[in-house]
Amino acid sequence: MNHCRSYPLPLAIAAALSLLTSSPATAAGATTAAQPATATPYRDRIISRENLQALPRDEEEEYDDEGLPRSLHAELNLSHSERGDETFTEQGISLGGFWETPDLGSFSLDATLFRSDRDRFQDEGGFGGAITLWQRDLYLDGGWRVNNGLGVLNTPLTPLQYDQYRFFLPTVALAGAATEWRNQGNGLLVQASLGRAGIYNGTRVAGFELADGHVASLGAQWSWAPQWTGSAMFLGTQGRIVPDDRGEAVFEQGDTDALYAGTEWKSAGDTVQFNLLSSDGELGRANGAWIDASSLRGRFTHNYGVFRLDPGLSWGALPINNDAEGVYYRVGYQYARWSWNGGVDTIRSISGNGFDGVYATVFGRYQASSTLGYGASLNTRHASGSDGDSYSTQWFADKRNAWGQTRVQLDLASSGNDDRSWQVSVDQALPLRQGRRLSASLSHGSLVYDGEPATRNTSLTLYGGGDITDSLSLDGSARWSHGDGPSAQRGSDFNLGLNWRMRPRWSLSAMLYQSEGSQRSPFILDPLVTETPFISLPRDRSVFLTLRYDHQAGRQQGVLGGAPGGAAGSISGSLFLDENDDGQRAASEQPAANVTVVLDGRYSVRTDSLGKFSFPRVAAGTHVIAVVPDNLPLPWFIAEDQAGRSVQVNVRQDAQVEIGARRRR
């Protein structure tokens, strides 16, 4: 036994000596110079494949390599919610996926089915859901490229319609079919849609509630002369969308037929667009006309126009700006460290029951250094009559430091009845290692609503997420508020999600959501809205549990946007309402839900209730993410630099994308 215990000692001594004798330091320190030995030529020693130890089984390599690239995901959702005095539960499933075909283009599927005991679903037996199927990039003879949609869609808009500077035309949701034919040679675009009207519903699982009426649209855009483009669109809807006493959308009876026609002249530095709109419905017959022009002169960009919109003017089931006529002018400058813009609107009510006055705005920002920038904005509205004057101003500074990105902001506002509000806020985005993110917002102010005494309010908001372990991650947001006054809110709002990757294709998510209610900010002024509708939203508390399955198949695990078998990563991100227009998501900024996001013009998904979207397996390289503003709330829009955003995907990495929707200043 002693012999067994001492056996390792000689081996250890021999190993130590071997290391010492081969050490350069020992050789250099030797007193006796040894004759240099002849160096043995280096020779690769390759271990034969038969002698290699078998690697552990990788479940991610178990795939079906037959056919073209395709993917599928399925979710099982359970939820329990308390909204105001109402309590309800929902159970639902959702399916989605992408797949390529050799001759019919690419397909995208998004389908949901849920059962709810909520009162508004009792007429349908408690069931709801939606299904959307898109076929994109179907190439036909003659230079035609076709996109077709079936299921729950939105009425299409021609580029001249959605590329508006001053006035926005919304899309109308429908359950039916839509098609788009684009000719690459002559620039002709033809669009059409037909289906049942309705509105989106559901909580965690989005559904679509059918109305009694129908929706139909037919439009085209073409180049009718050099530098000239024309567009026309007819939209017929049965029903109007209005908010109920809880602020939720409901459908009311009322037919509307609308016709839009426009033409644009465009040169290297100038653009002029003429727009005509006519509607006939429950609110009567109305017409509208507006001209938008822009000029690029050196470092200055000028936008100006004239408009007249009759009372009761509408576009489909949704209301638009009406009962106003006037002119506007905007100028913007951006060079080196300076960026500023300003504008003025002169508006008169056609019926005499609306706003008469002048609206002016100015914004400026100076980048003092690579890490420090500051600026201010001022919005003022002068109304004739008893409405009085209103203004809002904002002063801010942002600094990049060792703690990340810091923004300090002061907001001041005063309305026509001498309501004065102020608020100081600090936004901090912390620099964390890859895979983690955290931003915080702290605000304190005195807010006045509808002539009531001032309400003091302090709030702290956190937004972020990260990986706890290789298979466990946490993400969400939390807000704590404390107020004193007639409109005070005290309590906490949070939206926390815990994600567990149980197996390579299976994941389990649990989310807890609570909202104490909210009110619109008094610091927002609109030149065409004279009264601020401070709608108090009811308390909302929900618990969600989601089981998800993901599957990819195809030759060598097909990837989206690349050759089969190529290196792949993934893309995930969120769409949010960029309130302070700084391009970064602050903890207090809200998500944009149920908006379509398209990858490389071929694969489409919708953002969830948190504004998130994902493309699970994408070819490594550069891709383009585009947002279709079909359900983006007005007056928010996607800026040109965000409309087709380039994203770099690295091998086995998740590319994070934050897209902010802007509001016209």
The confidence score (pLDDT) of residue 70 equals 85
Q: Residue 621: left if φ>0, alpha if ψ -120 to 50, beta else—which one?
A: left
**Residues 6 or more apart from 442 whose CB is under 8 A from it?**
425, 426, 459, 460, 461
- DSSP annotation of 244: -
Task: Extract the runs of DSSP E, i.e. beta strands, from 448-595.
Answer: 455-467, 472-484, 491-503, 506-515, 540-553, 568-577
How far apart, in whole angstroms, are the C-alpha atoms of residue 76 and residue 431? 35
Q: Residue 151: left if φ>0, alpha if ψ -120 to 50, beta else—which one?
A: left
Supply 336's token pair. 């080196």
The confidence score (pLDDT) of residue 247 equals 56
Cα 455 off chain centre by: 32
Residues in the chain, overall count:
665
Strand order in the sheet with 568-577: 612-619, 568-577, 654-663, 636-637
The confidence score (pLDDT) of residue 203 equals 66
The confidence score (pLDDT) of residue 76 equals 94
The confidence score (pLDDT) of residue 632 equals 75
The confidence score (pLDDT) of residue 354 equals 84
The confidence score (pLDDT) of residue 529 equals 53
The confidence score (pLDDT) of residue 484 equals 82
Q: What does the DSSP assignment read for 275-293?
A: EEEEEEETTEEEEEEEEEE
- DSSP annotation of 85: T
Which run of H or of E encompasses 27? helix 24-29
CA dist 485 to 477, 479, 482, 655, Å?
26, 19, 10, 45
Helix, coil or strand: residue 88:
strand
How far apart, in whole angstroms, are the C-alpha atoms of residue 164 and residue 305? 12
The confidence score (pLDDT) of residue 33 equals 41
The confidence score (pLDDT) of residue 528 equals 58
Q: 333 near 341, Cβ under 8 Å?
A: yes
How far apart, in whole angstroms, are the C-alpha atoms of residue 172 and residue 167? 16
The confidence score (pLDDT) of residue 149 equals 96
How far apart, in whole angstroms, are the C-alpha atoms of residue 253 and residue 375? 48
How far apart, in whole angstroms, are the C-alpha atoms of residue 657 and residue 642? 11
Strand order in the sheet with 603-606: 603-606, 596-599, 621-628, 644-649
Q: Which amino acid is at 448?
A: V
The confidence score (pLDDT) of residue 38 equals 54
113: Cα within 13 Å, side-chain hemisphere: 4
Phi then psi dihedrals of residue 230, to 5 deg: -115, 155
Supply 409's token pair. 């902001």
Show the low-confidence residues of the chain (pLDDT under 70): 1-65, 120-125, 203-204, 240-251, 385-387, 416-418, 450-451, 488, 517-539, 555-567, 634-635, 641, 664-665
Quick one: 567-665 is in which CATH superfamily?
A: Immunoglobulins (2.60.40.10)
Q: 593 near 610, Cβ under 8 Å?
A: yes
